[in-house]
C-alpha cells in the first residue's frame, strides 16, 4: 500500500508539471523557430532503510523535439530560416553566445542586426552593423551584403557574415529565455554545412493535434491517480477497522 500511495501522490504532482509543459507548447504553436518540450517520468525506489517499500515518480528528463518546423515564405529581406539542422548564433549581453532558430530579424536605431527581442546577431567579428540608406540581402551561407538605396546602385558590399553553428543536439540545453546554449558555457564552432533560406521564417514544430491529445490523456491520468489515492485511503481505513476488531 505504501508503494501505491507514494507513486500515485508523486505521479499526480508531476502529471500537473507535464500539463504545464503541454500548455506551454500549445501557447507557442505559432512562435517562429520554437522547439517542442517533452517531459519523461519514471518510478524510482527510495534508497533508505527507513522507507524500503516506498517509490516515487520523478521527472527523469526534460527533452526537446529538434524536428525542423515548416518554412513559411514572407519575402522580407530580414527574414531568414535555417534549412535542416543548424542554429543562428546570438551575442548575449554577458559576452556569451546563445542559439536560436527564429530568423525574423530587424535593425535597431544604430543599424545593428538583431532579433525581435533586441539581442544582436553574432557575426564573424561581433555584431553586424548595417550602414544607413542601404538595402540588405542575406546569402545562403549567412553573408550579409548591402546595396545603396541611391547613387551607384550596382555596388554590392559584403559587411559581415551571420555565424551559423551545428553543435550536437545532445549538448544543447534550453534556457529560461527560450534560447539554447551549450552545456558548461562553451561556444560552438562555425559550420559551413548550415544554410539559410532568405525571405522565409521557420514555423514552430509543435503538432497541435498531438498536444491536445496529450492534454486529454494527462487529464485522465491525473484523475486516475487521484482515484488511486482515494482507494488507498479506503483500504487504510478498512485495515485499521479490521485490526481494531481483533
| Cβ neighbours of residue 114 closer than 8 Å, sequence gap 6 or more | 105, 106, 107, 108, 120, 121, 127
For 14, the domain range is 2-67+206-244
Long-range contacts of 130-133 (CB under 8 A, 24+ apart): 130/159, 131/159
Q: In this structure, what C-alpha cell is assigned to residue 149?
A: 538605396
37 and 123 co-located in one domain: no
174 and 120 co-located in one domain: yes
62 and 172 co-located in one domain: no
198 and 214 co-located in one domain: no
Q: Say which residue the cell 493535434 belongs to.
A: 209
Alpha helices in the chain (DSSP H): 2-27, 208-244
80 and 92 co-located in one domain: yes
Number of domains in the chain: 2
Virtual torsion, Cα 94, 185, 38, 86, nearest 10 deg: 90
Give the model's confidence band at 116: pLDDT under 50 very low, under 70 low, under 90 confident, else very high. very high
Instruction: Please indicate whether residue 39 or residue 153 has the higher confidence score (pLDDT).
Output: 39
pTM, rounded to two decimals: 0.80
Tens-place pLDDT, residues 151-199: 666 788 889 999 999 999 999 999 989 899 998 889 999 999 999 999 9
Amino acid at each position: 500500500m505504501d508503494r501505491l500511495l507514494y507513486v500515485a501522490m508523486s505521479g499526480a504532482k508531476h502529471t500537473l508539471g507535464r500539463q504545464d509543459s503541454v500548455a506551454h507548447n500549445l501557447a507557442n504553436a505559432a512562435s517562429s523557430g520554437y522547439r517542442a518540450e517533452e517531459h519523461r517520468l519514471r518510478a524510482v525506489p527510495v534508497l533508505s532503510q527507513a522507507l524500503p517499500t516506498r517509490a516515487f515518480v520523478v521527472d527523469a528528463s526534460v527533452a526537446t523535439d529538434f524536428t525542423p518546423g515548416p518554412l513559411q515564405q514572407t519575402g522580407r529581406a530580414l527574414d531568414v530560416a535555417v534549412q535542416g539542422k543548424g542554429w543562428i548564433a546570438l551575442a548575449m549581453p554577458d559576452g556569451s553566445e546563445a542559439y536560436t532558430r527564429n530568423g525574423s530579424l530587424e535593425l535597431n536605431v544604430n543599424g545593428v542586426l538583431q532579433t525581435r527581442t533586441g539581442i544582436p546577431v553574432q557575426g564573424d567579428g561581433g555584431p553586424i552593423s548595417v550602414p544607413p540608406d542601404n538595402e540588405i540581402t542575406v546569402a545562403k551561407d549567412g553573408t550579409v551584403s548591402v546595396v545603396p538605396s541611391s547613387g551607384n546602385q550596382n555596388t554590392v558590399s559584403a559587411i559581415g557574415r551571420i555565424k551559423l553553428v551545428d553543435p550536437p543536439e545532445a549538448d544543447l540545453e534550453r534556457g529560461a529565455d527560450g534560447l539554447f546554449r551549450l552545456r558548461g558555457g562553451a561556444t560552438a564552432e562555425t559550420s559551413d554545412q548550415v544554410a539559410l533560406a532568405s525571405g522565409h521564417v521557420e514555423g514552430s514544430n509543435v503538432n497541435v493535434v498531438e498536444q491536445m491529445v496529450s492534454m486529454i490523456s494527462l487529464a485522465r491520468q491525473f484523475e486516475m491517480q487521484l482515484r488511486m489515492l482515494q482507494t488507498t485511503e479506503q483500504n487504510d481505513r478498512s485495515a485499521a477497522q479490521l485490526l481494531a476488531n481483533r
